[in-house]
Amino acid sequence: MAMVTPVRPETYENLQINAGCFVKNFQYESIADADALRTALASAITSGEGILGATRGGGTFVVTKEIRKPDVDGVRYDFKGGKFVDSADARLNTTIIEVTPENIKDALGSATITTTGDKKVIKMNTVIAPTDYLTNIVWVGDLADGRLVAIVLYNALNTADFSLTFADKNEGTLPVEFHAHQANVNDFDTAPFEIIYFG
């Protein structure tokens, strides 16, 4: 007797493997395929520009939706078209293990770095300005068949509490949770994130 299973030859090509890489303020719009994306990522990694830093434990992408069903007289069952998305909160979580002034600034959400000679002083601001938001935070990961998938959060800001954990015979860890934000109050049609497959 044959076993019922959804597995087919393409199944193993579609598996997402490894932890991927986080970049910020990444210009991906003109990138057309996986090879070009790999080249752009390699350039960012080599230069250190835009790399969020080495991470531990991978990451998590979560979209929390607030769905509303209007209370209408005479409607006793759910029906197709009878629900509305009031809001969608998209976020990317990871734990950074590279502790740099730039990472700390990003983790604080709103901060200023002042450089004097070899000294850098980071101060958290109590007001979040429009310039504190990253243009985007992008996670890029591998698929088993060589394609790449990217998750892009627009106008990203770490809204989680700041926590730098350090221990003997271990590395310091800096967990972050970046949330996507709409560019302005007139953006209602789509949520401020994209998932892109590069073949």
Give pLDDT tens digits for 60-82. 999 999 999 999 999 889 989 99
Q: Mind listing the pLDDT tens digit for each residue in 11-34?
A: 999 989 999 999 999 999 999 999
Residues 31-67: pLDDT tens digits?
999 999 999 999 998 998 899 999 999 999 999 999 9
Residues 179 and 129 sit within 8 Å (Cβ to Cβ): no
- Domains of the chain, by residue range, sit at 17-70+81-198
pLDDT tens digit sequence for 104-135: 999 999 999 999 999 999 999 999 999 999 99
Alpha carbon separation from 80 to 33, 64, 84, 85, 191 (Å, rounded): 36, 21, 11, 13, 21
Q: Residue 187: its pLDDT value, please?
A: 84
Average pLDDT (144-171) is 95
Domain 17-70+81-198 has CATH 2.30.110: yes
pTM: 0.91
pLDDT (average), residues 86-108: 95
Q: Which pLDDT value is given to residue 145?
A: 93
Residue 122's DSSP bridge partners are 113
pLDDT for 3 equals 85
The residues, ordered by sequence, that sit 6+ positions from 88 with a Cβ below 8 Å of its Cβ are 63, 64, 65, 66, 191
